[in-house]
Amino acid sequence: MALRELSSLEKYLGLKKPNKYSTQGDKKVPVLQNNNGPPLVGLVTVACHLVKQAQRPELLGDSAENRAVVQQWLEYRVSKLDVCTKEDVKTILKDLNLYLQDKVYLAGNHFTLADALVYNGIHPKIVDLAVQEKEQYVNVTRWFDHIQHYPGVRHHLPPIVVLRNRIYTSRHH
């Protein structure tokens, strides 16, 4: 899965020369075989490397603050989203929903690598949500729908239907 995600990212970044990957350990951590140096290990590490390779530094944030925010969500993806239990998912969605209340993207005013990686990590969770739950996390689904329609991002993942209009009366107001 992580390797498909990286190959989607390569396509998004328009990298012509495909990189060589392998995986490491039970958790199948991606490893990039690097001709110019030692291999790079870890999804976030490799993804950041690809962004640099494609000379798209803005995808890692356009200021020191936004770069830190991007890194924070990248870490969140691999250390929280990827290992969360069924119960954790609800808290994660609730927190993200509040965070995204006044935001279009996870960091700053532009699409970044954080949007791409959190989108990929949350996709299996959103698949499992009932329509009613999707409405409960309306800011997450709005952001999710925006990212899945962002040119070149979705690639290997199936699109998820998100209703733009509420069909249930809101219980949370």
Task: For residue 22, give the amino acid letter.
Answer: S
Question: Is residue 21 within 8 Å of 12, Cβ to Cβ?
Answer: no
Among 81, 126, 153, 162, binds another protein (CB under 8 A): 81
- Is there binding between residue 28 and another protein (CB under 8 A)? yes
Sheet containing strand 20-24, strands side by side? 20-24, 29-33, 40-41
- Is there binding between residue 24 and another protein (CB under 8 A)? no
- Is there binding between residue 64 and another protein (CB under 8 A)? yes
- Is there binding between residue 99 and another protein (CB under 8 A)? yes
Q: Which range of residues in 11-19, 36-44, 152-160, 164-172 is near another protein by CB under 8 A?
A: 36-44
Among 84, 104, 131, 160, binds another protein (CB under 8 A): 84
Taking the least distance from each CB to another protein, the nearer of 11 and 90 is 90
Among 20, 68, 127, 159, binds another protein (CB under 8 A): 68
* Cβ 28 to another protein shortest distance, Å: 6
- Is there binding between residue 95 and another protein (CB under 8 A)? yes
Q: Which positions from 124 through 143 interact with another protein, judged by CB under 8 A? A: 124-125
Quickly count: other Cβ atoms within 10 Å of residue 61's Cβ. Answer: 20
How far apart CA 137 and CA 114 sit, in angstroms, is 19
- Is there binding between residue 160 and another protein (CB under 8 A)? no
Among 116, 140, 131, which Cα is nearest to 165's? 131
How far apart CA 106 and CA 89 sit, in angstroms, is 18
Q: According to DSSP H, which parts of 24-171 are helical? A: 43-53, 64-79, 86-99, 113-127, 131-136, 138-148
Q: Give the pair of three-digit tokens for residue 37.
A: 């140096």
Site residues (vs another protein, CB under 8 A):
1-2, 26-29, 40-45, 48-49, 52, 64-65, 67-69, 71-72, 75-76, 78-79, 81-85, 91, 94-95, 98-99, 101, 121, 124-125
